Amino acid sequence: DIVMNQSPDSLVVSLGERATINCRTSQSVLYSPNSKNYLAWYQQKPGHPPKLLIYWASTRESGVPDRFSGSGSGTDFTLTINSLQAEDVAVYYCQQYYDTPCSFGQGTKLEIK
């Protein structure tokens, strides 16, 4: 099974600043035949289900603000949130869908300074 590790576990960032969350997979999730990274990012606010933000490591889901972006390839990935807003306070998870069963990182809690 693919093990996911996110860093940091928690993050405190000022309004308007940039937040960076990292995700490392225990094996590559890059599928060479189509050059796609099988990695997604989700946002979960307290008391709510997860919300899909990014898939294929860097494709933004429809309706997600463009201050959210994803990057990386192979085993190392990053979620970047530019111009942090108060409503971005949440726990963020990465998920691999290269292998079954799918697996999630442990989550990164983002708070406002």
Partner 1 sequence: EVQLVESGGGLVQPGGSLRLSCTASGFTFNTYNMNWVRQAPGKGLECVSYIGTSSSTMYYADSVKGRFTISRDNAKNSLYLQMNSLRAEDTAVYYCARDRGYCRSTTCYGYYMDVWGKGTTVTVSS
- Residues near partner 1 (CB under 8 A) are 1, 38, 40, 42, 44, 48-52, 55, 61, 93, 95, 97, 100-107
Q: How far is the CB of 53 from partner 1 (least distance, A)?
A: 10
Return the number of the residue (11 or 102) whose C-beta is nearest partner 1.
Answer: 102
The answer to whether 14 and 105 have CB atoms below 8 angstroms apart is no
Q: Is the peptide bond before 101 cis (omega within 30 degrees of 0)?
A: yes
The answer to whether 96 and 77 have CB atoms below 8 angstroms apart is no
Euclidean distance between the first and the last CA atom of the chain, given in angstroms as a whole number: 37
Return the number of the residue (41 or 75) whose C-beta is nearest partner 1.
Answer: 41
The answer to whether 103 and 4 have CB atoms below 8 angstroms apart is yes
Q: How far is the CB of 58 from partner 1 (least distance, A)?
A: 13
Q: How far is the CB of 79 from partner 1 (least distance, A)?
A: 14
